[in-house]
Chains A and B, each alone.
Chain A
Amino acid sequence: MSNWHPADGDLRAYADAEISQRAAFRIRRHLRTCPECTAALAAERQSAAATRAVLSMLEPRDVGAAWDRISERRSAQARLSITSWWVSALAVVVVVAAMFAARPRLTEHIAGGRRDVCCWNLDGGRGGDDGILTVSQPGEQVDCVIVYDDVDRSHSLTPGDVIRYVSDPVACGLKPGAIHATAGELLQEIASR
């Protein structure tokens, strides 16, 4: 029997199979001839088993039920994810539809040689509120062009609008050099001639 004995920690590591093969071989060989270390190893194993037993009281009783709860949570998350996807998709559709509905649209009114197209965005301002009224006969050159702000959003030249430009007052049927502050005055004069 040699004078060497493994330390308690090494015996414990041996019991837990946490020691190198070489060290394990040495301990195993030593144990064949050392009843003290054999007893110490048995005590280590007993201590480990006792600790395992007492700590096992803290383990859950029903692992299957826990698994079921996790599976249910997972399924609920998946359902929520699918629902969220559909809600997001629907929101995108609604936003696109709203943008489509709100886009500027041109309307055209033609009567008595007058062609009124509204509304453009000629001045680079917010939204499209610029209308163009032309006066001409079919096939003739367009000499009269009136640009206005469609203030009342009626999509045509109406008395409440503001005149921005008149190309040629005479060609438009107005007095030479006439200045009209409002579309009402201009429309009145055109109508009276």
Chain B
Amino acid sequence: MLNFRPFFDRWYPRLVSYLRAKVGDADLAEDIAQEAFVRLLDETPRDPAAWLFVVANRLMIDDARIARGRRRHLTLLRVEASDRTGPSAEQALARSEAIASLHRALAALPERERELVLLHHAGWRYREIAEHLGVAASSVGSLLTRAERRLASSLEGSNDEQLASS
């Protein structure tokens, strides 16, 4: 029997950040993650963490609202207004802009590299990532290195653009 609270504390933040990177909406990401966890309570999958991500991905695809969120994400125009952050308006704005830059940088990555970075950050092992993406486990390290460099470069470019426009 799954000890649910520690499992939730460990995997909920990871699942939310994975979903949020994909749908570009914090509230929507949390809604999907919570729905996936509620469904998990009625199931006993062999690998609960992998099951969660599969179900969350399916929910993301099925839900029309999510499709709208994803389109917004792909247009790269959206700054998350609902981001509940720091004490001051300036900090909140800075954080929103940073998150918007991150979304843009992630969107600029090839889909496979984006998935790789997100799944690795979500705590997936190389073997699981390799199975999911259909690549050799031995190549995950080099793919990850390349993807992270590209992400960092894209983030720097985004920051430079912001500085130039401000």
Which chain B residues border A67 with CB–CB below 8 Å? 5, 8-9, 12
* CB-CB nearest in chain B for A23: B138
Report how far A7 CA is from B138 CA in the complex, Å.
11
Contacting pair A51 B117 (CB below 8 A): yes
Query: Given that A55-B21, A60-B13, A74-B41 are contacting pairs, would A48 and B148 also be in contact in the complex, using a CB cutoff of 8 Å?
Result: yes
- Count contacts on B: residues with CB < 8 A to the other chain: 43
Query: Given that A48-B148, A70-B38 are contacting pairs, would A58 and B21 also be in contact in the complex, using a CB cutoff of 8 Å?
Result: yes
Which chain A residues border B5 with CB–CB below 8 Å? 67
Contacting pair B140 A47 (CB below 8 A): no
* B51 on the A face (CB < 8 A): no
CB proximity of A52 to chain B, nearest CB, Å: 6
Which chain A residues border B38 with CB–CB below 8 Å? 70, 73-74, 77
* CB-CB nearest in chain A for B149: A47
* B57 on the A face (CB < 8 A): no
Q: How large is the interface on A (under 10, 10 to 19, 20 to 34, 35 or more residues)?
A: 20 to 34
CB proximity of A36 to chain B, nearest CB, Å: 16
Which residues, 27 to 83 on A, are CB-close (under 8 Å) to B? Answer: 44, 47-48, 50-52, 54-61, 63, 66-67, 69-70, 73-74, 77
Report how far A16 CA is from B21 CA in the complex, Å.
22
Show 21 residue pairs from A and B whose CB-CB distance is below 8 angstroms, ordered by the A residue.
A8-B142, A9-B141, A9-B142, A9-B143, A9-B145, A12-B145, A51-B121, A51-B151, A51-B152, A54-B102, A55-B17, A55-B117, A55-B118, A58-B16, A58-B20, A58-B99, A59-B14, A59-B16, A60-B26, A69-B34, A77-B38
Q: What is the interface of chain B, defined by CB distance below 8 A to chain A?
A: 5, 8-9, 12-14, 16-17, 20-21, 26, 29-30, 33-34, 37-38, 41, 84-85, 95, 98-99, 102, 117-118, 120-121, 125-126, 138-145, 148-149, 151-152, 155
